[in-house]
Amino acid sequence: MEDRCDVIVIGGGIVGSATAYFLSSNPDFSGSVIVLEPDPAYTYSSSTLSASSIRTQFSNALNIKISQYGYEVLTSFHDLMSVGNDRPDLKFHAGGYLFLAETDAQVEIMKQNYSVQLANDADVVLWSQSELASSFPHLNVADIKLASYGRSGEGWFDNADFLNGFKRKAESLGVRFIKDEAIGFNVEKQSLKSVKLKSGKKIEADYFVNSAGSRAGKIAKYAGITMPVVPRKRTVFVFDCEQSPQGSAAVNMGLLPLMVDSTGVYCRPEGNVFISGCTPKEDLDVDFNDFTPNYTEFDDIIWPALANRSSYFEAIKVRNYWAGHYAYNVLDQNMILGCHPAIENLYFANGFSGHGLQQAPATGRGLSELIIYRGFRSLDLSPFSWDRVIKGQPFLERSIV
């Protein structure tokens, strides 16, 4: 009824699988890794229920650098994650985010963000109202004062193949994925000795990783730690329209890119249809098992915003919808990475607040470095540590979608 490994990863979604890959592929690590995942089909995983996009248009310089590395991994994924003749194809669509600013406050934030983005080599441009109208003549821009567009380094991709690519590669390197659920820890002083499983088994390890997504807070409590990460529901709608809106050749796009309206509603093309979503008017914590879509969001929030933005979106029809969870960090909507001072061998990678998919490569690499070298080697992610959480000092990101 017992097992043992060097590192046990609790949660086999994209962050857990990326961490397992970076550990097992590092020549300085010769240990064994087990990944626990209660839902190996990933039916309710945030990784597979997300809008699966990547951007550099953040307000935080470190988030920009994280996405730049994520883009490197995405664009070389078929080589990095090849296993024999299996070379995963993420069907990456290079198309920038288009942010729209209507109010003076939104314009000021967009300009400040743009300065940070340029300083960190993000390929972003600001468009005036007339420039926006020239690039996307179908848009109603009468109320838009400024727009921000990512010319490269942004886009969307197949999230299931992204996750499975990391998982299959990690397995080929010796990582064991086990279908089971953590229900507690055996703790001695300031150290975890083993994890208790729902199956009745337990696994001993030297290092433990909490990458449990929206359930991260539940796992943390097993170790006596309270963290500000809760599940927040996000509903994604799939719709089509009678005529698809077209952009100009100037931006090398056939369709509208991933547009984030001034209302906060987003939409992007997905083949012959579009996907769209928004932040709920009442953004409340939900039960871990609540995946019921918020059907009224489309009629109450999304469609009015899109119809106002383009006449092409006046005649649209919902074809599908689903709900997923953000692992939402209520302190500052940024990840919590590393050990809590109360437990010396429990590593956290949680609270991505909707950015986990695009930030998984840098997070997995950084977490593997903490475990192997006791410090970051490639990109210093220490601002995301528990220190700012304990002190109640947010490490803010203002560009949340």
Residue 106 belongs to what domain range?
A: 97-151+233-325
- Cα R_g (the chain), whole angstroms: 21
Q: What percent of the chain has pLDDT over 70?
A: 97
Give me the pLDDT at residue 11, please.
98
pLDDT of residue 253 exceeding 50: no
Q: Which of 284, 308, 325 is the endpoint of a domain?
A: 325
When pLDDT is cut at 50, 70 and 90, the band that residue 2 belongs to is low
Across the range 17-35, mean pLDDT stands at: 98
220 and 164 assigned to the same domain:
yes
70 and 162 assigned to the same domain:
yes
Does any domain span residue 263?
yes
pLDDT of residue 133 exceeding 80: yes
Across the range 215-239, mean pLDDT stands at: 97
49-95 pLDDT per residue, tens: 998 999 999 999 999 999 999 999 999 999 999 999 999 999 999 88
pLDDT of residue 249 exceeding 80: no
123 and 221 assigned to the same domain:
no
When pLDDT is cut at 50, 70 and 90, the band that residue 242 belongs to is confident
Tally the domains of the chain: 2
Does any domain span residue 193?
yes
pLDDT of residue 200 exceeding 50: yes
74 and 163 assigned to the same domain:
yes
pLDDT of residue 145 exceeding 80: yes
318 and 335 assigned to the same domain:
no
In whole angstroms, how far apart are CA 66 and each of 153, 249, 250, 281, 382? Answer: 12, 30, 28, 29, 13
Give me the pLDDT at residue 329, please.
97
Q: Which of 325, 348, 366 is the endpoint of a domain?
A: 325
Q: Which residues of 88-114 are buried (b: 16+ CB within 10 A; e: fewer)?
A: bebebbbbbbbbbbeeeebbebbeebb
Tokens in use for 237?
């709608």
254 and 174 assigned to the same domain:
no
CA 325 – CA 211 distance, rounded (Å):
14
374 and 251 assigned to the same domain:
no
pLDDT of residue 96 exceeding 80: yes
237 and 315 assigned to the same domain:
yes
Q: What percent of the chain has pLDDT over 90?
A: 90
pLDDT of residue 220 exceeding 80: yes
Mean residue pLDDT of the chain comes to 94
38 and 18 assigned to the same domain:
yes
188 and 147 assigned to the same domain:
no
Give me the pLDDT at residue 255, please.
61
* β-bridge partners, 231: 327
Does any domain span residue 90?
no
CA 317 – CA 314 distance, rounded (Å):
10
Residue whose C-alpha is closest to residue 126's, from 142, 115, 137? 115
pLDDT of residue 355 exceeding 50: yes
pLDDT of residue 128 exceeding 60: yes
Reading phi first (left if > 0) and then psi (alpha if -120 to 50, else beta), residue 306 is in: alpha
Q: How many CB atoms lie within 10 A of CB 260?
A: 23
pLDDT of residue 27 exceeding 90: yes
291-305 pLDDT per residue, tens: 999 999 999 999 999
- Sort strands 273-277 and 229-241 into parallel, antiparallel or unpaired: antiparallel
Q: Which of 287, 305, 325 is the endpoint of a domain?
A: 325
CA 257 – CA 98 distance, rounded (Å):
7
Give me the pLDDT at residue 112, please.
97
Give me the pLDDT at residue 256, please.
79
